[in-house]
Amino acid sequence: MQEFIIDTKKTGNDLDIGRFSAGQGGLASEPMIDMHTQELKNLNLKIIRLFIQEYFNLYPKKGVYNWKRLDRSVDAIMATGAKPMMCIVFKPKLLFPKIDHTIVRPNDWKQWEKLVYELVKHYNTDKKYGIEYWEVANEPNVGEYGGCPYLFTAKNYPEFYEHTIKAIKRADPKAKVGGPALAGFEPPKKSNLLYSYTGDILAGLLKYCSKNKLPLDFVSWHIYSDDPGEFKRSIIYVKKLIKKNKLNCETSINEWNVGFNSILQNVNNPGIQPCFIVEVINHMIEQGLSNCCFYHIRNINGPKEMYNFLSNDRAVIATDGQNYGFTLLGMFDYQGVPKPAYFAFKMLSRLLGKQIKVKQTGKNVKLLAAYDEKMDLTTALIWNFKVKDAKPEKVNLKFVNINEAGGLYSRYMLDAKTDSNMEDDRMKLVKHGNLSRLKEIKDTFVLPPYGIAQIAYKGR
């Protein structure tokens, strides 16, 4: 049995749950989320990461800029109420005539900087979108294996970063610039199929920015792992590096999900992934991560566009991965049907106001709670996660310092196994009623393995 006491008077900072957001893109030049505008609005996401790939054809001729295709994807994100985190990974043929991911310097730095300047100016000055986050490169330590045409080293990434962010800051001094969006967070001990050891790009960037007084507003990296502890370890590791270099940066795990080898496991037990999402985001909150982007929103059959800017053999790998690999892990499936992962984010989005400080005594059952003073609303998520061999757990809840005049108490349970995608079926209301003249509320129930419960108490 695990017990929790939720005291609405013991609150800390605003939970700001919308900063734990999502990503989309890297797969197609067509908008992939426009049919899900309302569903994404309901999640109150603050950012949605977007890959600016070469298939948007931003620079068809010298001095000519083409924003039409990219506008559609950016506008689709803006329509959800979020703002894009713009990941710069395009390689115009005029500046990079040869397809080779080891070629990372454009043949004309002035044209490159002018292109980046015009890109930022288009969205933040002309359209007045005020996009905050501009990221330089994606998974620079794996290159084309990450679906992007740049393979950097610890020596040449800082040069590319400096040229690019200076152009961004000229167009919008308020823009936040960062990177390097590493695949993982530590350099591999030796090269393997995926990683060609190119030095410690993250450590090199931090050292370079510190030495040369360059802006580095955020540091980003990616993790796909079945172990939530790996996310915690990565945040501690990166924050130590930032501190060592005497920098002050936001931190962002802006691509993440369960490990690729979890696909069949999730099919057999669809409750694992949504519970994993809540467990990981709780680690992120505890370790003070600035934001995250769950990857990704919508599954899609990868088109052939990558063959135009990736080498043939790696384009085959990237396209195969998109069609049959990690894209199975999205919030929506190939037909656009919401999956249990979507409803995990829906439950998280209901945690409004300031975080309630709750003493955690259990190992497997955790609780995350918030109190919104304006609404006199207390909300909590309780979940039962263990990497292996999770068991049913009995939970005792006690709410104290509540509105003694009474209010409405509700408990929901996420049903990850139902065939229905109606919200009322996925997020089942299992307890509901008006309470009056109580100094505290008690509730006892059993959480199944990978079960998620949500509690809401609305004062009168």
How high is the mean pLDDT of the chain?
92
* Helix axis angle, 228-244 to 272-286, nearest 10°: 30
Which CATH superfamily is 17-349 part of? Glycosidases (3.20.20.80)
The answer on pLDDT for 389 being more than 60 is: yes
pLDDT of residue 123: 98
Percent of the chain residues past pLDDT 70, beyond the cut: 93
Q: How confident is the model over 345-366, as a mean pLDDT?
A: 92
pLDDT of residue 309: 83
pLDDT of residue 208: 98
pLDDT of residue 316: 67
Q: How confident is the model over 291-314, as a mean pLDDT?
A: 82
Q: How confident is the model over 196-213, as a mean pLDDT?
A: 91
Which CATH superfamily is 2-10+352-459 part of? Golgi alpha-mannosidase II (2.60.40.1180)
Give pLDDT tens digits for 105-147. 999 999 999 999 999 999 999 999 999 999 999 999 999 888 8
Boundaries of every domain in the chain: 2-10+352-459, 17-349
pLDDT of residue 302: 63
pLDDT of residue 320: 64
Give pLDDT tens digits for 333-349. 888 999 999 999 999 99
pLDDT of residue 76: 96
